[in-house]
């Protein structure tokens, strides 16, 4: 019985730390219509899943692309994949690891179009629909 209040206090303090960090380094917010699981299937039948939450892509925090992030970049370096940068550019959302990989996504009807440096592919909410439209690039 005494353990539960201590656990609640620890969880509460962790949330406070996250909020303070997000004020110092603003987090990128994915639109509600993008959040959730999206499936794609390679031409070999391998299933891929991308998960978008309010501020993460596949459990990695996405920060607003801004000069305020220079201390984070100095701390982790440009090539470590500890966090991502995100921004909205017209109809596209551009996000990725700083100076390593960058993707763009755009919602188009019942699917999203995702791509990087040329090739693009569709991802679907339904695995069955993703299997009907395999990705031709991988």
**Predicted model pTM:** 0.76
Rounded distance between C-alpha atoms, residue 79 and residue 103, angstroms: 16
Residue 62 has pLDDT above 80, yes or no: yes
Ranges 24-28, 46-50, 120-124: which has the least confidence: 24-28
Average pLDDT, the chain: 81
Q: What's the count of helices (H) and strands (E) in the chain, helices before strands?
A: 3, 9
C-alpha distances in Å from residue 51, one per residue of 17, 32, 36, 38, 69: 24, 13, 6, 6, 24
Residue 102, beta-bridge partner list: 96
pLDDT digit string, tens, across residues 64-123: 988 777 776 777 665 667 788 899 998 899 998 877 778 999 999 899 999 988 789 999
* pLDDT at residue 23 in the model: 65
Q: HSE (CB half, 13 Å, CA atoms) of 46?
A: 6
Say what the pLDDT of residue 18 is.
46
């Amino acid at each position: 019985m005494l353990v539960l209040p201590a656990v609640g206090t620890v969880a509460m303090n962790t949330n406070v730390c996250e909020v303070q960090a997000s004020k110092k380094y603003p987090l990128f917010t994915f639109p509600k219509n993008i959040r959730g699981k999206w499936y794609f299937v390679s031409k070999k039948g391998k299933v891929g899943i991308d998960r978008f939450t309010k501020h993460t892509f596949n459990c990695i925090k996405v920060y607003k692309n801004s000069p305020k992030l220079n201390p984070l970049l100095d701390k982790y370096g440009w090539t470590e994949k500890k966090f991502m940068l995100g921004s909205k550019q017209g109809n596209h959302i551009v996000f990725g690891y700083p100076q390593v990989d960058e993707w763009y996504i755009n919602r188009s009807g019942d699917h999203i179009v995702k791509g990087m440096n040329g090739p693009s592919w569709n991802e679907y909410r339904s695995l069955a629909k993703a299997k009907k439209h395999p990705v031709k690039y991988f």
